[in-house]
Structure 1
């Protein structure tokens, strides 16, 4: 069971907001059901180009893990799409990605939300994004309460696939300062993905092992946005890989017929954020193999 203490109050940082921005909290539970538990919020950062059922499924796997293995209580979950400045191949314009994530969460979930703060401005590091959530939930909204009215700060925690942990364990991909901020201050839940060696990756991050929670996939799912985009370019069906409202939106707007202006490998490597170069090469091999079929 979890015995770690909550992080201190939000660090002193000035945040700039996109035009007409307001932090979404319509599904954020503001009262703890069990005052003996520590309130947390899950945040998944990523391209979501497009959002898939696996992205949503990660949150449900985290719910099961938290309930069975920790002393946490989940108060809400957020998808935070990256900015267009990420410059990744297949990265559709932010307004499309935010809309698709919103359709997916609002029409298939009762507790997930989409925060467009990261998407509609310049590139923001993951550490800064987590600080933004901490600030909005604990400073602006005032955290949550117990049934008796006692105030509690909410711990923000990153939710990601095991490929993220692999990049964190690679020298030079993430700064030591950011790793300590993300893993030391906040912590993360890592969903196992096929082909990733989580044990080796976490061995290299032993300093923060107490704040890294590994979640096994009981049903393997290797659906990726990369493969979905390839299917769409080839005119193949992606129904039941993505939420139906997202499929309808893609078809209505004729999206992903090509990779667009950001498709160069040089840009992909230059602006790498959550995936290292080897992961990118592996995805390229998947695409090449599928093209040959």
Structure 2
């Protein structure tokens, strides 16, 4: 997780955000939110007000349309009381940077929630190790840009349910006709079957 370094995190009201293709959304995505929330509540004394799964828009590299991916995320979180699907990113005409997505939801939550409380909402970006590796930027002198913000980065291991579940593996299993039960929500699996998603390599 990455937080804004401007203020202390202890006891803050926090919203969690992750951006991704969610192609398809799996239990691993939801578990990441639960583990982050558990850490913030138990270790930092925070109040986690919501989690947002921001669905990326269509691009030449996307395999499944944003329309289907958004619907699958909405289906996956339909019974969750604090995690919701975010459609701002996928509704943009052109791809936008994740920092712009974070700022958008920071503004939305500030207007929606903060006016009821004296303290502002702190937005935190949550991602898996695979995404974190991609975000690491190396400067010309060989130094890592993360060094400046390392005090605001929290690396959390899930000892209860460690997994290396990747969307690409799920898509491969679906193309092969293999079962993905207990990897995805049953209603997401039903949606995939109803719309014949992931049946070819296209």
How does the TM-score come out when normalised to structure 2?
Answer: 0.87
Which of structures 1 and 2 has the bigger CA Rg? 1
- Give the drift of 1:144: 4.9
Post-superposition offset of 1:164: 2.2
Q: CA deviation at 1:160?
A: 0.2
Partner of 1:237: 179
How far is 1:5 from its partner? 5.0
1:114 is aligned, of 81, 85, 101, to 85
Q: Give distance in 2, aligned partners of 1:247 and 1:105.
A: 14
Tell me which of the two structures has the higher relative contact order, counting C-alpha pairs closer than 8 angstroms and 6 or more residues apart: 2
State the shift of 1:112 in Å.
Answer: 0.7
Q: Find the counterpart in structure 2 of residue 158 from structure 1.
A: 125
* Residue 77 (structure 2) pairs with residue 105 (structure 1): yes
Q: Which secondary structure does the structure 1 equivalent of 2:77 belong to?
A: helix
Asked if 1:74 corresponds to 2:74, the answer is no
Q: What pairs with 1:254-269 in structure 2 (closer than 5 Å)? A: 254-260=196-202
Q: Partner of 1:210 in structure 2?
A: 151
Q: TM-score, normalised by structure 1?
A: 0.61
Aligned length: 193
Find the aligned partners of 2:37 and 2:109 in 1 and give their Cα distance. Answer: 20
Deviations 1:178-232 (A, max 9, x none): xxxxxxxxxxxxxxxxxxxxxxx9x762210111011012032111110000001
Residue 157 of structure 1: CA displacement?
Answer: 0.7
User: 1:144·1:154 contact (CA, 8 Å) conserved in 2?
Assistant: no
| Cα distance change, pair 65–78 in 1 and its aligned pair in 2 (3 A) | same
1:102-181 to 2 correspondences below 5 Å: 102-107=74-79, 109-121=80-92, 122-138=94-110, 140-141=111-112, 143-145=114-116, 150-171=117-138
In 2, distance between residues paired with 1:239 and 1:167? Answer: 29
Question: Any gaps of 5 or more consecutive residues in structure 1?
Answer: 8-35, 173-200, 261-293
Q: Distance in 2 between matches of 1:6 and 1:143?
A: 16
- Tell me, in whole angstroms, the C-alpha distance in 1 between the residues paired with 2:185 and 2:178: 16
Structure 1, residues 102-158: CA drift from partner, whole Å, max 9, x if none?
Answer: 000013x221101111012220101100011111111x325253xxxx422101110
Name the CA distance, whole Å, in 2 between partners of 1:168 and 1:251.
Answer: 33
CA RMSD of aligned residues (A): 2.2
Match of residue 37 from structure 1: 11
